[in-house]
């Protein structure tokens, strides 16, 4: 997720401002832009920034004719929407275990979701796992559920940068 920061500088001296503007917040420097015709703009990647509210400071370096100056703006970085998918067999022998594959992504955004996913047979949790690289495998232990037909899905709990989401529902028959 990218965001463009703009600064319009007025002249405090006898010439149009030149120099640089650095964009930062406590604990993070987004980058520096060169001033052209009194304007500095910078495209900042916010993909690795935790969701939250930040006060961004634009610090103008000044030049021979213009004094350094700072300005602040509050920005809000929101958690990214996620998509969770589930794949695995549609029939299980109750006496054996089966493994289901889970994938969580951020459509059209860089970054990889982290956190926990839980496999549910209707509303009963039969296993959970931590995502690694946005994927996890969850094994349904033998005899974890009785014979029958179940609506099965995965719940992703979300993390500091990603919203929770549920997978599609698949029907699983336990024999």
Q: What is the pLDDT of residues 96-126, one digit of tens each?
A: 899 999 999 999 888 899 999 999 999 999 9
Are 153 and 120 in contact by the 8 Å Cβ rule? The answer is: yes
Place of tokens 């420097």: 29
- Given this model, what pLDDT does residue 139 score? 95
The residues with which 139 forms a beta bridge, in sequence order, are 99
CA angle 55, 58, 63 (to 5 degrees): 160
Q: Per the structure block, which two tokens stand in for 120?
A: 């549910």
Residue of 91, 73, 90, 82 whose CA lies nearest to 164:
82
Are 175 and 92 in contact by the 8 Å Cβ rule? The answer is: yes
**pTM score over 0.85:** no
Q: What is the pLDDT of residues 49-76, one digit of tens each?
A: 888 899 999 999 999 888 899 999 999 9
Domains in the chain and their CATH numbers? Answer: 2-77 (2.60.40), 83-174 (2.60.40.10)
Are 88 and 101 in contact by the 8 Å Cβ rule? The answer is: yes
Q: Residue 25 phi/psi, 5° resolution? A: -135, 165
């Amino acid at each position: 997720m990218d965001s463009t920061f703009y600064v319009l500088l007025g002249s405090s001296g006898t010439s149009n401002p030149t120099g640089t503007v650095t964009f930062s917040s406590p604990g993070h420097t987004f980058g520096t832009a060169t001033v052209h015709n009194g304007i500095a703009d910078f495209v900042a990647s916010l993909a690795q920034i935790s969701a939250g509210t930040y006060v961004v400071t634009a610090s103008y370096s000044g030049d021979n004719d213009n004094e350094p100056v700072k300005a602040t703006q509050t920005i809000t970085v929101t958690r990214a929407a996620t998509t969770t998918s589930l794949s695995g067999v549609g029939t299980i022998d109750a006496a054996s275990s089966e493994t289901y594959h889970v994938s969580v992504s951020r459509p059209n955004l860089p970054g990889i979701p982290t956190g926990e996913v839980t496999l549910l047979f209707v509303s009963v949790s039969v296993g959970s796992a931590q995502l690694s690289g946005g994927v996890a495998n969850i094994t349904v232990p033998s005899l974890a559920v009785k014979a029958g037909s179940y609506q099965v899905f995965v719940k992703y709990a979300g993390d500091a940068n990603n919203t929770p989401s549920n997978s599609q529902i698949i029907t699983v028959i336990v024999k």
